[in-house]
Amino acid sequence: MRKLDEALLPPALALAIALVVGDLLILSFGQSPGAVFAMLLEGTWGNAYGLGQTLYKATTLIATGLAVAIPLRAGLFNIGAESQLAAGGFAAALMGLAIPASLPWPVAAALCTVAAVVGGGLVGAIPGALKARFGASEVIVTIMLNFIVLALLNWIVASHLHVPESLHTPEIHSGGVPRFADFSAVFRGSAANVTLVGAIGVAIGAWWFLFRTRAGYELRAAGLQAEAARTGGVRLPRVWLVTMTLGGALAGLGGVNYVLGYKHYYEEGFGSGAGFLGIAVALVGRNHPVGVIFAALLFATLSQGGLAVNAVVPKQMMDVLQAVVILAVAVCVPEVRRVLQDAARRAVMRGTAAS
């Protein structure tokens, strides 16, 4: 019980801070916080369509959140979820274009999903391999890969694959997965699809992997105390490679949500920052798969809610609110504070070294 308190109270404090700051922001736009929050809730959890949109957004965020959270457990900071997500979506679309239309959708969807996992995994494997082989910082490599991979994909699409006067590929032949609207008309128009079920399954799988398997044990040991793990026979380079590949694969899986579940094509920039938001999701979810699910729902609610109240408060307010949540978490959650303090110390050291 005490452990649960320790896990839940700091994020709860962060949320409470964010709520009050949100109130003040809304007031500063001359609107009533009560009315705006009511509107926000109505537009997200208050009707099936809004709920569907929220769940749709949460699906991608669960994938990218896990893609950041699991490497963080191994002490690796994966900033590349954005490009891994794009690579996953692109690979899924390529597979969907390559297979015949006659293939039944479950088979086609499975093939496309495998492609997404491989696509994202490959992009994740690069920083993993470079770190394992040369000790290159995964932070720098993933940041650089974001530029390289996105530019490369967009160039391929722009110059070879796109439908004229659009930014996207043709529609895939097969592999689209059912939307919730196919089961219940109340979800009509919302993009929520069965990928959500897959994402939750993957999160549960991630929990099992982290806390119930030997590889997860070694991964956590490497993240908490690399030297102790090494002394305990953990092969750190292998852990780095496997973890980053896994992180990339998880982010790639997020591409399935868009390509198979929503638009049925790859479009430039479809990620719209969901990969970066994954960092926030992982932090707020405290690197725990279950926490990631809830954090993904929170950020999805903020995003969809931002649209719902957009007519009365500008979008930037929601962006600020999101930043407040992240900052409040950074201040309230001990391990995040520790990471930040370490970073600050390193910065101070660099400063003194420079002088």
Partner 1 sequence: MTAAPAAMPAIRLRGIAKSFGPVRAIRDASLEVATGEIHALMGENGAGKSTLMRVLAGMYTPDGGTAEVEGTEVTGWQTADAIAAGVGMVHQHFMLVPTLTVAENLVLGQELMKGVTLDMAAAERAVRDLSERTGLRVDPTRKVSELNVGEAQRVEILKVLYRGARILVLDEPTAVLSPPEVQELWEVLRTLRANGGTVVLITHKLDEVVAISDTITVMRAGETVGRMATQGTTPADIARAMVGRDVSLAQREAGVRDSGGPAAALLEVRDLAVAGARRARAVDGISFTVSAGEIFGIAGVEGNGQTELIEALAGLAPLAGGSIRLGGRDVSTLDVRGRIDAGLSHIPEDRHRRGLVLDFSIAENLILGLQHRFSGAAQLDAPKIATNATSQVKTFDIRPPDSALPARALSGGNQQKVVVAREMGGERPVRVLLAAQPTRGVDVGAIEFIHARLRAARDAGSAVVLVSADLNEVLALSSRVAVMYGGKFVCVVPGSEATAALLGPYMTGAARGAA
Partner 2 sequence: MNRLLAVIGALLAVHVALLFVRPGGALAEPAVKSVRVGIVFDVGGRGDKSFNDGAYEGGERAMRELGAEVTFIEPGDGTDREAGLRLLAAEGVDLVLGIGFIFTDDIATLAREYPNTRFGGIDYALSTDAAGNVVPPPPNVTALKFREEEGSFLVGALAVLVGRSKTVGFVGGMDSPLIRKFEAGYTAGVKHVCPECTVVAQYAGVTPVAFRNPGRGKELALSQYQSGIDVIFHASGSTGLGVFEAARAQHKLAIGVDADQFNEAPGFVLTSMVKGVDAAVYDAIKRVRDHTFQGGVSAFGLAENGVGYVYDANNRALIPDAVRARVEAIRAGIVAGRIKVPGK
Q: Footprint of partner 2 on this chain (CB under 8 A)?
A: 2, 5-6, 9-10, 12-13, 16-17, 19-20, 23-24, 27, 30-35, 37, 43, 49, 53, 56-57, 150-151, 154-155, 158-159, 163-168, 189, 191, 258, 262-263, 267-274, 303-304, 306-308, 310-312, 314-315, 318-319
Which residue do the tokens 């308190």 mark? 5
Is 11 within 8 Å of 333 (Cβ atoms)? yes
Given the complex with partner 2, which of 79 and 318 has the nearer CB atom? 318
Identify the bridge partners of residue 179 per DSSP, sorted by sequence position: 193
Min. distance of Cβ 60 from partner 2 in angstroms?
9
Dist CA 33 CA 309 (whole Å) = 11
Given the complex with partner 1, which of 319 and 342 has the nearer CB atom? 342
Given the complex with partner 2, which of 32 and 225 has the nearer CB atom? 32
Min. distance of Cβ 105 from partner 2 in angstroms?
20
Token representation of residue 282: 């992982």
What are the b/e assignments for 295-320, b being 16+ CB within 10 Å? bbbbbbbbbbbbbbbeeebeeebbee
CA distances 203 to 70, 274, 287, 289, 291, Å, are 10, 17, 11, 5, 10
188's torsion region: left (phi>0), alpha (psi -120 to 50) or beta? beta
Query: Backbone phi, then psi, for 169, in 5-degree steps?
Result: -80, 170
Contacted by 31, from partner 1, partner 2, none: CB < 5 to 8 Å by type: partner 2
Token representation of residue 235: 């092969």
Token representation of residue 261: 């579940």
Q: Coil, helix or strand for 267?
A: strand
Given the complex with partner 2, which of 137 and 272 has the nearer CB atom? 272
Contacted by 221, from partner 1, partner 2, none: CB < 5 to 8 Å by type: partner 1
Contacted by 133, from partner 1, partner 2, none: CB < 5 to 8 Å by type: none
Dist CA 114 CA 331 (whole Å) = 39
Q: Coil, helix or strand for 179?
A: strand
Contacted by 173, from partner 2, partner 1, none: CB < 5 to 8 Å by type: none
Min. distance of Cβ 254 from partner 2 in angstroms?
12
Contacted by 151, from partner 1, partner 2, none: CB < 5 to 8 Å by type: partner 2
Token representation of residue 230: 């090494």
Min. distance of Cβ 321 from partner 2 in angstroms?
11
Identify the bridge partners of residue 251 per DSSP, sorted by sequence position: none
Min. distance of Cβ 155 from partner 2 in angstroms?
5
Given the complex with partner 2, which of 158 and 228 has the nearer CB atom? 158
Contacted by 327, from partner 1, partner 2, none: CB < 5 to 8 Å by type: none
What 8-state DSSP symbol labels residue 176?
A: P
Min. distance of Cβ 24 from partner 2 in angstroms?
7
The footprint of partner 1 (CB under 8 A) covers 2, 212-215, 217-218, 220-221, 224-225, 227-235, 345, 348-349, 352, 355
Total residue length of the chain? 355
Given the complex with partner 1, which of 10 and 119 has the nearer CB atom? 10
Given the complex with partner 2, which of 231 and 316 has the nearer CB atom? 316
2: which residues sit within 8 A by CB, 6+ positions away? Answer: none
Given the complex with partner 2, which of 155 and 211 has the nearer CB atom? 155
Min. distance of Cβ 311 from partner 2 in angstroms?
5
Min. distance of Cβ 90 from partner 2 in angstroms?
13
Dist CA 46 CA 40 (whole Å) = 9
Given the complex with partner 1, which of 50 and 75 has the nearer CB atom? 75
Token representation of residue 239: 């852990």
Contacted by 119, from partner 2, partner 1, none: CB < 5 to 8 Å by type: none
